[in-house]
Amino acid sequence: KSFPLSDIQRAFWIGRSEQMTLGGVGSHFYIEFDGEGLDVARLEAAWQQLIARHAMLRAVVTEAGEQQVLPDTRPYRIERHSACDDVEGALQTWRDTLSHRVYDVREWPLFSIHVVDYQQGGDARQRLMVSLDSMMFDGRSIMILFTEWDALYCNPTAALPALRIHYRDYQCGQAECSAALMPQAKSYWLERLATLPAAPALPLAVRPETIAKPRFQRRRYVLPAESWQRFMSQAQRHG
What pLDDT score was predicted for residue 194? 92
Question: Which H or E run contains 113?
Answer: strand 111-120
Specify the CATH number for 3-163; select among 3.40.50.300, 3.90.1150.10, 3.90.180.10, 3.30.559.10.
Answer: 3.30.559.10
Average pLDDT per 10 consecutive residues for the chain, totaling 239 residues: 91 89 88 96 98 96 95 95 88 90 94 94 92 92 96 96 90 79 91 92 91 85 96 95
Inter-residue long-range contacts of 137-146, CB under 8 Å, 24+ positions, other chains counted: 137/29, 137/56, 141/56, 142/29, 145/50, 145/54
What pLDDT score was predicted for residue 24? 86
**50: nearest Cα among 144, 133, 127, 138:** 144
Question: What CA–CA distance (Å, rounded) separates 234 from 145?
Answer: 41
The 8-class DSSP code of residue 64 comes to T
The CA-based angle 215-96-109, given to 5 degrees, is: 95
Question: What CA–CA distance (Å, rounded) separates 44 from 114?
Answer: 10
Q: What residue spans define the domains of the chain?
A: 3-163
Q: Contact, 101 vs 28, CB < 8 A? A: yes
Question: What CA–CA distance (Å, rounded) separates 23 from 58?
Answer: 25
The 8-class DSSP code of residue 220 comes to -
Question: What CA–CA distance (Å, rounded) separates 148 from 40?
Answer: 16
Q: Contact, 208 vs 43, CB < 8 A? A: no
What pLDDT score was predicted for residue 212? 83
Q: Contact, 161 vs 142, CB < 8 A? A: no
What pLDDT score was predicted for residue 81? 93
Taking residue 176's Cβ as centre, other Cβ atoms within 10 Å add up to 10
Question: What CA–CA distance (Å, rounded) separates 42 from 29?
Answer: 23
Strand 123-133 and strand 28-35: the pairing is antiparallel
Tell me which amino acid residue 195 is.
T
What pLDDT score was predicted for residue 180? 79
